Chains A and B, each alone.
Chain A
């Protein structure tokens, strides 16, 4: 029942053009970017996600390198909470540290190569 409702709603929302098309034209604007014109540390993740949905791994990585690790982290966390792996908590910790490192390095890289504006 819920699935049917969701399918009907998604067809309505996307006007029959597909979910990705709808997603591409309804991106949320970052409040920091809309106010100052500068990128925030999370800017680019939605464009990157859309590119990933289209199957374009390279441009997804170029737009925002941390998207794929973040998705992996979320999926692994859900799987760990459900199935309770043996060293799951440790892997989540390591993945999380990796994700934060990628985000911070990406932002510093952006600052020093003047890609913020």
Chain B
């Protein structure tokens, strides 16, 4: 579902950017004048009304930027941020397969954490598309795919462990000679 939605969103984004750039060009011409006014008047009111990015620069949490932030980005360009969790998701997704020892539990945890983080970031990206860079979104998706693959493999391995225990029992598994005999009887 989500994969199908994404291509549909991109043209929208382009349309929005096109609209906003045409709308915001007068704004952007007005902005320098407002900026000069800022020190004279009450700073907080004007900065919230215009949503001018440099004034928001001191507040990294994304909810502050929501809504009023996107229209301006069409006019300014180059003010895009990277998604906050993109790098972490990519790293966790890659690491989730490398820790396939330890009965698949560590990889399972890493994969689930990566998926949860990526879900949050995808929602962030969907709420205001223009505010985040395209490359970080690609990184996020690559990390998400890696995490899903790692998660599947780890679950398979965990199931294999459980099946082994169910077939032979703990006692036979911890005794290597008994294990060998049991395997030879199978063949």
Q: Please tell me if the beta carbons of B97 and A99 are within 8 angstroms of each other in the complex.
A: yes
CB contacts (< 8 Å) of A41 on chain B: these are 100, 153, 157
CB contacts (< 8 Å) of B93 on chain A: these are 96
A68-111 interface code vs B (CB 8 A; 1 in, 0 out):
00100110010011001000111011001101100110000000
Interface status of B180 (Cβ within 8 A of chain A) = yes
Q: Please tell me if the beta carbons of B101 and A30 are within 8 angstroms of each other in the complex.
A: yes
With A89-B135, A90-B142, A93-B146 known as contacts, the answer to whether A32 contacts B91 (CB < 8 A) is: no
C-alpha gap A30/B157 in the complex (Å): 14
B94-134 interface code vs A (CB 8 A; 1 in, 0 out):
10011011110000000000000000000000000000000
Q: Please tell me if the beta carbons of A81 and B90 are within 8 angstroms of each other in the complex.
A: yes
Q: Please tell me if the beta carbons of B87 and A40 are within 8 angstroms of each other in the complex.
A: no
Interface status of B179 (Cβ within 8 A of chain A) = yes
| Chain A binding surface, main DSSP class | helix
B101 CB, min distance to chain A CBs, angstroms: 5
B99, closest chain A residue (CB): A42
Interface status of A35 (Cβ within 8 A of chain B) = yes
A31, closest chain B residue (CB): B102
How many A residues touch the partner, as a band? 20 to 34
B5 CB, min distance to chain A CBs, angstroms: 19
C-alpha gap A25/B153 in the complex (Å): 30
B162-187 interface code vs A (CB 8 A; 1 in, 0 out):
00100000000110100110010000
Q: Please tell me if the beta carbons of B90 and A96 are within 8 angstroms of each other in the complex.
A: no
CB contacts (< 8 Å) of B90 on chain A: these are 77, 81, 89, 92
Interface status of A117 (Cβ within 8 A of chain B) = yes
Closest 6 CB pairs of A and B: A37-B176, A89-B142, A89-B138, A42-B100, A93-B142, A42-B101
Q: List 18 A-B contacts (CB under 8 A).
A: A31-B101, A32-B102, A36-B174, A36-B176, A41-B157, A70-B98, A73-B94, A77-B94, A84-B135, A89-B142, A92-B90, A92-B94, A99-B97, A100-B149, A100-B150, A103-B100, A103-B153, A117-B179
